[in-house]
Amino acid sequence: MSRTQVHRKLKALTNLSASLFIRQVRLQKALVLLQQTELTVSEIAYQVGFSSPNYFTRCFAEQFAQTPTDVRQPQEKA
C-alpha cells in the first residue's frame, strides 16, 4: 500500500489527517499517564513524543478542554 493510499484510507476512516490522528493517539496516552502515574507533565510530554511541554499543554487543552494540571488535581486532593 502506498503512502498516499494510507493517508486517504486514514482520512476516510477517521476524518483526520495522519498527523492529527497520531497527535490524538499521543494525547490519549498522555491522559492515561496523567491519571495513573506520578510523572510530571513535562516527563509525560516527552514520553508521548512531544518535544515541547508548552506545545503539549496547548494541544492537550484543545483536545480535552482542560490543562494537564487540571486533570491531575482531583487525584492530589483525594
What are the tens digits of pLDDT across the range 12-47?
999 999 999 999 999 999 999 999 999 999 999 999
Query: Contact, 68 vs 56, CB < 8 A?
Result: yes
Query: What is the pLDDT at residue 1?
Result: 87
pLDDT in tens, 65-78: 999 999 887 655 54
Query: What is the pLDDT at residue 74?
Result: 61
DSSP, collapsed to helix, strand or coil, labels residue 41 as helix
CB atoms under 10 Å from CB of 68, counted, come to 23
Q: Is the pLDDT of residue 55 over 90?
A: yes
Q: Which domains does the chain have, with CATH numbers?
A: 3-77 (1.10.10.60)
How many residues comprise the chain? 78
